[in-house]
Chains A and B, each alone.
Chain A
Amino acid sequence: MPGFEIKDVFRETRVFTTRSIVIAILMLVLTGILLTRLFYLQVVEYDRYSTLSKNNRISVVPRPPVRGIIFDRNGMPLARNIPSYTLEVVPDQVSDMDSLLDELGKLVKLTEYDLKLFHRDAKRHARFDTIVLRSRLTDTEAARFAVNRYRFKGVELRARLERNYPKKKSGAHVVGYVGRISSRDLDKIDKETYRGINFLGKTGIESYYEELLRGEIGFDQIETNAHGRVVRTISSTPSVPGKNIYLTIDSELQRVAEQALGDYRGAVVAIKPATGEILAFVSAPSYDPNAFVYGISTADYALLRDSLDTPLLNRALRGRYPPGSTIKPFMGMLGLKSGQSQVKKITCPGYYTLTKGGHRFRDWKRGGHGHVGLHDAIVQSCDVYFYDLAHHLGIDYMHDNLALFGFGTKTGIDLNGESSGLLPSRQWKRAARDQTWYPGETVIAGIGQGYVLTTPLQLASATSALANNGIRMKPHLLLAEEDPLLTGKNPNEPVILNGVIWRDEDLAIVKQAMIDVTDSPRGTARRIGAGSPYKIAAKTGTAQVIGIKQNERYKESEVALRNRDHALFVAFAPAEKPEIAIAVIAENGGHGGSTAGPVARKVMDFYLLGKEPQQEKDPS
């Protein structure tokens, strides 16, 4: 190689080899040093370090934050934290687990289920982790254990705050519940944020406002004695409590609405039209959320899940019902907007045909309503008028304009899992079913049958928009939030979804017709308006559960109870200056005016007059 002097290859190799031997010896010496050190630590001093490890005096203990409290609009607690004793075991510190559990079982009640959960959790965690053995000890049990604590090494009695829902079944679908963090939750949450927190919101407000309610974890650096008991706190980072939440719900109104609905399955949604605040949000039947906090047993859960009455389903939010005749006031607005319904009158023979001698779309009144205009068609709920109107408007016009009332889209309420209902159009049918649209389908859509589906929340929101002169406010449950460390609430500002769209004179026509539904001798809900000191604007509705064939007389008594029509009712009051808008659905309730209407009246009476509804007498 150029530039390099001639080398003595063998000499160079010898130099390197000699040095390598020196290095190799050095390597062995270093390895020896490390092994000696390891031997010293792990074998000679093993007992000392083993003890140090077991009794590691310094540990970092997470301080879980206090979860925010959920109040109703008047400051009544809907979800709170109550102290509760739990018995916790560190398996690593227990020498004979079976005899320990036997002995413990004599002091506090340990069910098969408790033991099963304990053994399962113990298997899933490391031996030095703390495992909950029993929760919700009674005061007596806690005292009994405290006296005998010295006998149970590795068992701790701890006071924790437990989530509690004082209203139990009432409002369960709004408030929701917290539950233990499951392995599926673990994939979704940040583990650091939840260190030391065992619960998170699973449904309802508890889930939607989880981040507000949760707060932030704090940490204590503590020194413990050999039994793991805290000797002193070395340093401490306090936790930040979660925000308190005030809901728009009036829990008294909620209770009245639930009682008014009685044993019917169904939903009641009441909204303050000017702001979109939800005053009552009922889904029946309901369930007790307290059962979920510490884990509901599989059998109890199966009972709820498999019940034909589906108590876990939030009907107000997710139930999809044909709106039936309750859609007619909105159809009326469309008719007026298009300019057709101001003067148009039709003659109703009791049925409607698209072509002479074609399919007969029947009216609910066999003999027909005679000569009717829009006002009478709403008051008497004439189907034929709206068949005709729908036919002339066309499905796409209906789709685009009914959407202005929020049909077919989620309202954006602050709850997870809202259904958007279904507002059909030509395009929808082609995309979803790959079929063309038939004119007959437009006709029945005009009376809220066929493909049209709405949620009770959508129906209430649309009614509320009508009451608020077409200005649609976003329905919401959060009234205000409050930092428990500061004073003063932080209100949640109302949000406008649609501004002014509809003409005042058109609104006046439809509103007057809705008033006459309850206020005129021919109105379908005249009994609802009877004796009311305030004016009620309303519309009844009946939604078919099964399809009824042509010319076949619908005999209510002959179909199974569950195939009975759903009863619907929408209303707002006082009609001149609406303070409450409401939608009621009673599943299989038959006719809207007779079943759903009284429910709405009781709710409105209570809200507007503070009048407690009279207890209904048991029919048996």
Chain B
Amino acid sequence: MSDNKGFSIDWALFTGLLTLSVISLFVLYSAGDQNLDLLIRQSIRIVLAFAVMFLVARITPDQLLRWTPYLYGIGLILLIVVLGVGVIGKGAQRWIDLGFVRFQPAEMMKLAVPMMVAWVMVKKPLPATLPTVILGFVVVAIPAMLVIKQPDLGTAILIAGSGLVVIFFAGMSWRILAVLAAIMAAAAPLAWYLIHGYQRQRILTLFDPWSDPLGAGYHTIQSAIAVGSGGLYGKGWLNGSQSQLDFIPERSTDFIFAVFSEEFGFMGSLILLLAYLFVVSRSLYIAIEAKDSYTRLLCGSLAVTFAIYVFVNIGMVTGILPIVGVPLPLISYGGTSMVSLMAGFGILMSAYSNRWFMH
């Protein structure tokens, strides 16, 4: 059962990922003031990320299962270390500087948490019973709390989400789900007092950005103007006035969708969303075809997490979600998140190579 079933690429998924990467380069060229250096750096990252994907794809699901507890343990230790000695970037301690490379342990947890939860879930037959579900919650809660401490609420929510999705896939009963939903609704006012002032401000801004058009509402207003003024077909590549005239902050990273949408319009956005939908549904399909429950749960979680990233980012740019630091997967400029993302797709490729009917 643990022998390698050989290595093959899921060309459909690969094509989807490649398409998104190519789109990324085009948008970045426009968003980054047509800076070739930026483009070259991103290309190198894409190549590296794909290399990581192929490397991870060679690890069999069984090997992954065995390593899971260790990976999770190391991740926890690094999160504790980062709180002690981490480098402060943009006001939060998130990085470990190894000299040649800066590394964000929270990124590693995006994979390690769903793996660990899946590992816990498959200890007993599915669907998961209440004790297993509770254990799963504990596995999710510890790293989530550590990341909140950094403080990085956005990443904490995403990490927690990726773990909770596993529990959901594991067949947590609808009753427990309903009870949880009720508790969360009741706890919402309490949470309002627990979160930071700036986080509260972001939520308020969402409802009325024009109350402070030059301060808190600036991002929301300017990116909405960018998207809205793109119209049906967009202003054309390199011709987005909002983007090119510096109205959109962080336009190479978190707000890159505003640039894309301004320049390629509703039709362009539709095509991009369909490309994302294709990648997500293909991933979900691979999950269903996977050979055992552990792989299925993990792959399902990866597919859903990816979808959540896309939704949260575009929701934020279009003004239906508060501003959280979540990049648009595979399109935004940046290294660490792309590598962890592609490692996730590597797991999916591996699951595909070792799928159900190949037994």
Contact = CB atoms under 8 A, between A and B. Distances in A.
B225 A4 contact: no
Nearest to A235: B214
B318 interface: yes
B284 interface: yes
Nearest to A127: B239
Contacts of B224: 41, 49
Interface string A46-61: 1011101110101110
A480 to B, nearest CB: 39
A128 interface: yes
B303 to A, nearest CB: 8
Contacts, number: 144
Nearest to B241: A128
Nearest to A57: B213
A126 B238 contact: yes
Contacts of A43: 231-232, 266
Contact of B125 (A12, A37, A126): A12
Interface in A1-34: 1, 3-8, 11-13, 15-17, 19-20, 23-24, 27, 30-31, 33-34
Contact of B228 (A33, A42, A56, A234): A42
A16 B293 contact: yes
A221 B297 CA distance: 52
A27 B287 CA distance: 15
A37 B261 CA distance: 12
A5 B307 contact: no
B32 interface: no
Given A38-B269, A127-B239, A59 B245 contact: yes
Contact of A35 (B229, B270, B297): B270
Contacts of A234: 214
B125 A52 contact: no
Interface string B180-217: 00000000000000000000000000000000011000
Contact of A11 (B126, B213, B231): B126
Given A16-B169, A16-B296, A45 B284 contact: no
Nearest to B122: A4
B137 interface: no
A39 interface: yes
Given A56-B225, A234-B214, A27 B269 contact: no
A126 B229 contact: no
A126 B241 contact: yes
A24 to B, nearest CB: 6
A23 B300 contact: yes
Contacts of A46: 228-229, 231-232
A8 to B, nearest CB: 6
A390 B245 CA distance: 69
Nearest to B224: A41
B250 interface: no
Interface in B223-248: 224-232, 238-239, 241-242, 244-247
Interface in A218-236: 221, 234
B277 interface: yes
A293 B229 CA distance: 39
A12 B293 contact: yes
Contacts of B246: 60
B171 interface: yes
Contacts of A49: 224-225, 227-229
B229 A50 contact: yes
Nearest to B293: A12
B108 interface: no
Given A23-B300, A24-B281, A53 B214 contact: no
A46 B233 CA distance: 11
Given A7-B293, A35-B273, A127-B239, A23 B304 contact: yes
Contacts of A48: 228
Interface in B96-140: 122-127
Given A19-B168, A34-B314, A53-B228, 14 more contacts: A16-B171, A17-B288, A23-B300, A23-B304, A24-B281, A27-B304, A31-B277, A42-B231, A42-B265, A45-B228, A49-B224, A53-B241, A58-B213, A92-B241
6 contacts: A5-B124, A27-B281, A42-B228, A42-B231, A42-B266, A60-B246
Interface of A: 1, 3-8, 11-13, 15-17, 19-20, 23-24, 27, 30-31, 33-35, 37-39, 41-43, 45-46, 48-50, 52-54, 56, 58-60, 92, 126-128, 221, 234
9 pairs of A and B residues whose beta carbons are closest in the complex: A49-B228, A53-B229, A15-B171, A41-B228, A42-B266, A12-B126, A49-B229, A7-B125, A50-B229
